[in-house]
Structure 1
Amino acid sequence: MTDSKLLLEAKELSRFFGDTLAVNNVSFNIKQGEVLGFLGPNGAGKSTTMRMLTGNLAPDNGQIIINGIDLLDNPKQAKACIGYLPETPPLYKEHTVTEFLQFCARLNGIAKKQQKTAVNNVIERCGLTDVSKRLIANLSKGFQQRVGIAQAIIHAPAVVILDEPTSGLDPIQIREIRQLIRDIANEHSVILSTHILPEVQMLCDRVQIISKGQLLFNDSLQMLTEQMQSTAILVGFSQPIDTQALNAINGVNNVEKIDEQHFRLSYLPEQNPTQALLKNAVENNWPLTSLMPEQHSLEDVFMKIIREEDAHV
């Protein structure tokens, strides 16, 4: 597998619904073997973008290239390289699992001699062996979601697009589906559209954040994680401490007084003042009772990026 092979390119995608600009000049790409997390609040433009990428909705502007094939110029060839699970899985519930997947194999143009093998492979990969002869209507939502993923990968597409794949599942089902997505990513490139932040941390290599149709962040999960690093420490003392004395500590660039004995000390990431604070506490006999880095959650960073963009509008 060549890590650097580009499997999907979206260039300057825009889409209007009437006078409403739902997606505004969005560009990104995904390489072979990557899991790309597509994050955003409800109504941000995630599903509209997913529908454009899969050819279910034409962009008003822009270009989509799947595995080197222009989606608008050669839709049939390009779509053959895509596997798609919409938020509501497209299932014929009166079929058994095997019957439905046989239909999907034919629909995806898999050669007749290879259809049985393709169906058996996805049944095994998606953990559907024990329910393969049951009607889809009688399966739990978790198993129905597995069937939805199976139909998306049955033709071994280059890119698999999953729109809210764990929506409405219980915690056990969510864990099982996440494991399945990780397994799929070993052989396919995956775009995961979600508003569930822990899902991104667990599954994704790269992250995109979209809000009000605009792409606000497009970088590696590592870069997003770096923004989660602590830039403040919370300190407590058993008696009041002079704020000016804390401000004078090397590395501290702001002191927020929580109450007479508790403070938030802000600093630049490369200037952690913890050691200087401890030294000052010993030298000045400050009765230090607590010292804790203030960690930023992914949710904090997500909301910060959204708020910064709102402030610019």
Structure 2
Amino acid sequence: MARGQALGLVGPGGAGKSIALRMLAGLVEPTSGRVTIGGDAARTRQARRRIGYLAQGAPLDDDMRVTPYLRTLCRLRGVAPALRQARIDAALDRCGLGDCRHEVIRRLPADLRRRVGLAQAVVHEPDALLLDEPGSDAELIAALGRERAVVLSGDAVAGVSGVCGRVLVLDAGRVVADETPEVLRARLRVEVLVVVRGDAAAAERHVRDVAGVSAVAVEALDGGEHRLTVTGDRDDLQDAIARAVVAHGLGLRELSSRQAPPDGAG
């Protein structure tokens, strides 16, 4: 991959997205073949300094303040002492964290913690970014990756399409599709029909929050029940919708799915 290119990895849980990124980051040895970054084996120090990696869940040193945390990572990644403060200031500015530089990381809200995760990934000015489900801030991620190669994982095509021009769909460690986001969205569109009992507005809100959902239509039925027609582009959409409904205490009455018609059809 060249600078400015972005590749998305999507698939159900256990498909191999995280392990693929860990291999690229030099944290796991592949069972066959080899991984190189700029011509160097991924597990070498030279390769690791070219990579900015954000693990799933954005694990951070919660007890540190933001600036000392980034300074420590600069030191560990070989940034010259004279350059460290400028690199930290640039990372904080790009990630919109200028007002948080003196805050203890654990006290930050979830969205700003994710941004600290992105800041640590770019603070040493790497050539490539490896981001494992970094959140929904596509505009920021696209900006950070403008002059870098980016590999980004997500639950669904919709979660990576704002950044990536090419997407690999993984299943059980295998690539089952390699297409543009537009082609995959058309191919993977699914409709889930779910009948719930309870607050229709709450049901719609919680279903819309599920990754990969692109549209929700609500129809009132008899007996205080409602049918939601949910359109999305992930192959486990039915299971994800069921989990969202049950987790929020809504009564799940019926659940089924079907291939959605193409846009403009029907």
TM-score, normalising length from structure 1? 0.59
Distance in structure 1 (CA, Å) of the matches to 2:13 and 2:236? 17
For residues 197-255 of structure 1, give each alpha carbon's deviation from its aligned partner in whole angstroms, at most 9, with x where no partner exists: 322222211000000111111233344356479xxxxxxxxxxxxxxxxxxxxxxxxxx
Distance in structure 1 (CA, Å) of the matches to 2:235 and 2:132? 23
Are 2:22 and 1:51 equivalent residues in the alignment? Answer: yes
Partner of 1:273: none
Structure 1 residues 301, 32: closer, same or farther in 2, change over 3 A?
Answer: farther
Are 2:72 and 1:103 equivalent residues in the alignment? Answer: yes
Distance in structure 1 (CA, Å) of the matches to 2:100 and 2:232? 39
Are 2:164 and 1:204 equivalent residues in the alignment? Answer: yes
Task: Report the Cα offset of residue 98 of structure 1.
Answer: 0.7
Partner of 1:36: 7
Distance in structure 1 (CA, Å) of the matches to 2:95 and 2:37? 25
Within 5 Å, which residues of 2 pair with 1:154-165? 154-165=123-134
- Counterpart code for 1:202: G
Q: Percent identity?
A: 33
Task: Report the Cα offset of residue 35 of structure 1.
Answer: 1.4
- Counterpart code for 1:126: C
Partner of 1:63: 34
- Higher relative contact order (CA closer than 8 Å, sequence separation 6+): 2
Are 2:92 and 1:133 equivalent residues in the alignment? Answer: no
TM-score, normalising length from structure 2? 0.69
Within 5 Å, which residues of 2 pair with 1:1-313? 30-72=1-43, 75-166=44-135, 174=136, 177-225=137-185, 227=187, 298-299=233-234
Distance in structure 2 (CA, Å) of the matches to 1:35 and 1:127? 22
RMSD: 2.2
Unaligned runs of 5+ in 1: 1-29, 167-173, 230-295, 304-313
- Preserved contact between residue 81 and residue 158 of structure 1 (Cα < 8 Å): yes
Task: Report the Cα offset of residue 36 of structure 1.
Answer: 0.8
Give the secondary structure class of the aligned counterpart of 1:61.
coil
Give the secondary structure class of the aligned counterpart of 1:203.
coil
> Which entry has the higher C-alpha Rg, 1 or 2?
1
For residues 89-146 of structure 1, give each alpha carbon's deviation from its aligned partner in whole angstroms, at most 9, with x where no partner exists: 2311121111111111111110010001000000100110111111111101111111
Partner of 1:308: none
Structure 1 residues 218, 42: closer, same or farther in 2, change over 3 A?
Answer: same
Task: Report the Cα offset of residue 31 of structure 1.
Answer: 2.6
Distance in structure 2 (CA, Å) of the matches to 1:120 and 1:70? 31
Structure 1 residues 212, 301: closer, same or farther in 2, change over 3 A?
Answer: closer
Task: Report the Cα offset of residue 297 of structure 1.
Answer: 5.2
How many residue pairs get aligned? The number is: 197
Give the secondary structure class of the aligned counterpart of 2:153.
strand
Task: Report the Cα offset of residue 301 of structure 1.
Answer: 11
- Preserved contact between residue 228 and residue 301 of structure 1 (Cα < 8 Å): no
- Preserved contact between residue 46 and residue 210 of structure 1 (Cα < 8 Å): yes
- Counterpart code for 2:25: T
